[in-house]
Amino acid sequence: MKALIPVEMIEKKILLIRGEKVMLDADIAELYGVETKMLVRAVKRNIDRFPSDFMIQLNRKEFENLRFQFGASSRWGGRRYLPYAFTEQGVAMLSSVLNSERAVKVNIEIMRAFVRLRQMLASNAELARKLNALEKKYDQQFKVVFDAIKQLMIPPDTKKKSKIGFRRDKGIE
């Protein structure tokens, strides 16, 4: 079955803010095909469904940071409030607030993108763990080699050496 929205497109909209993987209200609204203010209005009508671990509102510094990162565009213009960012659980909760068929389908795709991202991060963590184990193992085995290389890197003694070649003494003519 063909996805409504490519997973790669959704993954690009997942940001890391305050150590959490989140999506901004404007990005979610765009994916759902609704105006951002309509999405926010629906959330505010059901605010008890969005505790602080489901949704955060960016502070001024975070918002300016995002604007700097992505450049000033029409997407940021005209906002009268700081954007909301939804965690994976918050995005899941949005499907119960927005009841359109598209919202449900898009929500499924977003959930798949979060899962795929989590799997990629887990595999990278496993790879880093294996790399550290290899480094420790081979550090001990190659210690002798490293020590020999260090010895070769020490400059030789700078004793005065005799010159090679023929020297003519002044007494002989």
Q: 136 or 76: which carries more pLDDT confidence?
A: 136
- Domains: count for the chain: 1
CA 103 to CA 33: how far, in whole Å?
8
Looking at residue 171, its pLDDT comes to 59
Full domain range(s) for residue 120? 7-127
C-beta of residue 49 within 8 angstroms of C-beta of residue 10: no
Lowest mean pLDDT across 40-44, 122-126, 139-143, 161-165: 139-143
Q: For the segment 101-151, what is each residue's pLDDT rounded down to a tens digit?
A: 777 778 778 887 888 877 777 777 776 677 667 666 666 666 666 666 667
Looking at residue 139, its pLDDT comes to 65
Q: Is 153 a member of any domain? A: no
Q: Is 72 a member of any domain? A: yes
Which of 72, 99, 75, 85 has the alpha carbon at shortest distance from 40?
A: 85
CA distances from 111 to 10, 66, 144 (A): 10, 23, 51
Q: Is 101 a member of any domain? A: yes
pTM value surpassing 0.95: no
Q: Is 168 a member of any domain? A: no
Q: Is 142 a member of any domain? A: no
Q: Is 68 a member of any domain? A: yes
- Side-chain-facing half-sphere of 165: CA atoms under 13 Å: 3
Question: What string of DSSP letters covers 47-63?
Answer: GGG--TTTEEE--HHHH
Q: Are strands 84-86 and 14-17 parallel, antiparallel or unpaired?
A: unpaired
DSSP state of 17: E
CA 17 to CA 120: how far, in whole Å?
18
Looking at residue 74, its pLDDT comes to 47
CA 109 to CA 8: how far, in whole Å?
10
Chain mean pLDDT for the chain: 78
CA 173 to CA 171: how far, in whole Å?
7
Looking at residue 85, its pLDDT comes to 94
C-beta of residue 120 within 8 angstroms of C-beta of residue 15: no
CATH of the domain at 114: 3.10.260
Q: Is 170 a member of any domain? A: no
Residue 171 tokens read as: 């007494």
Which of 26, 25, 22 has the alpha carbon at shortest distance from 11?
A: 22
Q: Is 133 a member of any domain? A: no
